[in-house]
Structures are given as structure tokens and as C-alpha cells.
Amino acid sequence: MNANLPLRPDLEGESPYGAPEIDVPVRLNVNENPYPPSAAVIESIATAVAQAAQGLNRYPERDFPRLRAALADYLATESGAHATPEQIWAANGSNEVMLHVLQAFGGPGRTCLTFTPTYSMYPEYARDTLTDYETRPRRKDFTLDVDAAVSAINELRPAVVVLASPNNPTGTALPLEDIKRILEAARGHGPVLEAEIGSPARVSDCVVVIDEAYAEFRRPGVPSALELVGPAHPHLAVTRTMSKAFGAAGLRLGYLAADRALVDALRVVRLPYHLSAVTQAAALAALSHRAELMAQVASLRDERDAFVEWLRAQGLSAHESDANFVLFGPFPDREAVWRALLDAGVLIRVVGPEGFLRASIGTPDEMARLRTALTAAIGR
């Protein structure tokens, strides 16, 4: 019998998001870190989780102050950021952090603005929070046309602007100057807030989210927007994750740094106890090994730059990347190339502009297999 459910009309015909989960020897499709945790990291996590298990009859710490302090400490060493624990927020992946942002600041009659091509989950956060989703194109080289972005902010008065830097799937990082101009434009150009009876309507600032999921892979000299976080920019939030450089995608721990008032707004919309005691314990244990966990970042960067050069030597176009993936092409039939690679045991991603493919950076062995398979697929 067909289900007769009161599904929201805007969800009619929608399917669950996600890259294909295919079990092949070389998986380079979702920008994970190819290196599993070491025995020492596994042991620390196991010990911490065993300890947390002793208290599983109790709810976990709701606002996880120890984890927030450890994340603030990590950001201070990684980017020289001076965020206090109260300026940090965390959830089950930066996916959930972003959902919290849109739950707090988006909603019916409000707009979220992004610049395409970009991360394919952004429209889903908007849809799920009943927020209007507007996009404007990036330039041909995938940099941001800041003048056009400022005009769009003036015109739309979005509640939230999301900019990925480095951007997925292009790998493009944003200069700080561009972010500063966007922050300036966002001031006073958020939604107009309903007036209380007897007082005038108030214009708000638009919240600017810089999604730095891949920031640790940026090339030397490329700054992080974290240096702008604080009272001077109360409408700025910078999101990070342990899923990529940190090599802990399975942990599901994303986080954000922002001025305290913004973080406190997110605390209102989160479900109570959204971060399990097991997640908190494992994340704290992993953070205590950060030097080791991050050790492969430099070699992944080198591998990435070598892959870009190799692609260009094959006559392909490959975009400079500040992330752990490379967008390359164009192929007259990208699906056929993707399929040929899959048949050779290498899974990459069909994403981004027509004709292009994206591959995450793997171990040297995995990259060698990718190069061999690609050479065969394009018949060079």
C-alpha cells in the first residue's frame, strides 16, 4: 500500500544527499584524510571512551566547556587565533554547526546567499530551515567577484552569507581583503527586524560564515579568517572540522569560532545534549595528539601540488588548490572517465562545472593508481 504521509510539499521528490558509498581499493571521493589514526591515537581514544562509558547513565555535559577550551587552544596554535572557550561552538560535524547557524538566523522570509560552484550541502541547510536560498556565480577562475557580492548583499539583505574558503569543489581560498569587504557590506544589510509597538524597525547585520573545513591545507602565506573573529566583527563566524586535515571524519566533530553573542544564539537552537559523552571524550583524546594527527598535512599538500603539475603536463586544466582535493578537466564525457576510473578501483567524484571531476589527495600509492588509471582512461 502506498504511504499517504503529510510530507512537506517542498520535500516531494527529494532524495537523501550523499556521495555514492562504493567499496573500492582507492577512495578519493569525499575529501577524507587517507591516513588512519596511529596505534597511540587509537589507544588514547579507547581509554577515554572506556572512562566516559562509566558515566553513560548520565547525560553528557551540555555545553562541553572542556572540549571548547581544547578547540580554542588548538586554533591558537594552528592559526594564532585568540578565541576564548565561550567563542567556540561544536556539533556533530560542521554540517550540524551550519544547521545551527541557519536555525538561529535563517527561517521563513529570510535568505541565505552563497557563490557557486560551492559545497552542495548549503542548499540543504537552507531547505531544512525553510530559508530562501540565493546564489550568485563566482568568476570564471572561481575567485569571488566582490563588487557583485556586495551588490547582491545590498539587494537581498540576506540573513546569512556562506563562503567556503578554501572552496569546495574548486580549492579556491579567499583573500582577507575580500572577506573584510564582505563583512563591511554585511553591516546593516541583514533582514529588517519587525518593530515592537512604539519603536522603529531595526536593520540587522547579515551573518557572514567563512567555511574553513579545509583551512589546514592552505598554502603558506594564505591567511585564515579566524584572525578577524571577535568583537570587531560580531557578525562573523568561521567554521572548522576535525573531518579533513585532522583525519577524524568518522568522529563527526565540527566547530565554529565567533563572537560570544553569536555562539550564545546557537546554544538556543541546539538540541539538549547534542554532543554525546563518547564524542566529547574521543574528540578530547584526539586533540591531545594533534601534532601527530596533523603530521601528514604537509605531505598531502606536496602530493596535491605534484598532482596539479602532473595534470597540467597531461594537457588538462587543473585549478590551484588550497585544499586536499583538485578539480580538473575538462572531459567531453566526464561520466565515462569517472566510470573507467571506478572500473580500475579508483573512486573520485563527479562534481563542479560541466566536464570537470574532483579527486581527493590520497597516499603516494593511491595517487600513483589514480594517475595510472587516468592515463589509461584518457588514452594518453
Ligand X SMILES: Cc1ncc(COP(=O)(O)O)c(C=O)c1O
Q: Closest approach of Cβ 306 to ligand X, in Å?
A: 22
211 interacts with ligand X by CB under 6 A: yes
**Contact predicate 312/318, CB 8 Å:** yes
List, in order, residues 6 or more apart from 187 with CB less than 8 Å away. Answer: 205, 235
C-alpha 79/C-alpha 214 separation (Å) is 13
C-alpha 20/C-alpha 350 separation (Å) is 10
The stretch near ligand X (CB under 6 A) out of 20-28, 91-99, 142-150, 308-316 is 91-99
Residue from 67, 71, 102, 164 touching ligand X (CB under 6 A): that is 164
Q: Closest approach of Cβ 166 to ligand X, in Å?
A: 8
114 interacts with ligand X by CB under 6 A: no
Residue from 29, 31, 44, 280 touching ligand X (CB under 6 A): that is 31
For 133, the enclosing helix (H) or strand (E) is: strand 132-137
C-alpha 28/C-alpha 363 separation (Å) is 10
Residue 210 or 342 with smaller CB distance to ligand X:
210
CA distances from 329 to 26, 342, 350 (A): 20, 17, 11
Q: Closest approach of Cβ 240 to ligand X, in Å?
A: 8
142 interacts with ligand X by CB under 6 A: no
**Contact predicate 324/291, CB 8 Å:** no
Q: How many residues bind ligand X (CB under 6 A)?
A: 13
241 interacts with ligand X by CB under 6 A: yes
C-alpha 4/C-alpha 372 separation (Å) is 51
Residue 37 or 254 with smaller CB distance to ligand X:
254
Backbone φ and ψ for 335, nearest 5 degrees, come out as: -60, -40
Q: Closest approach of Cβ 197 to ligand X, in Å?
A: 41
Q: Closest approach of Cβ 211 to ligand X, in Å?
A: 5
Binding pattern to ligand X, positions 44-83, x when CB under 6 A? ----------------------------------------
Residue 93 or 191 with smaller CB distance to ligand X:
93
Beta-bridge partner residues of 135: 114
Chain centroid, CA 81 distance in Å: 18
The stretch near ligand X (CB under 6 A) out of 4-12, 194-202, 241-249, 347-355 is 241-249
94 interacts with ligand X by CB under 6 A: yes
172 interacts with ligand X by CB under 6 A: no
List, in order, residues 6 or more apart from 103 with CB less than 8 Å away. Answer: 129, 269
Q: Is 13 left (phi over 0), alpha (psi -120 to 50) or beta?
A: left
Residue 60 or 117 with smaller CB distance to ligand X:
117
Q: Closest approach of Cβ 162 to ligand X, in Å?
A: 9
Residues near ligand X (CB under 6 A) are: 31, 93-95, 119, 164, 168, 211, 213, 241, 243, 249, 254
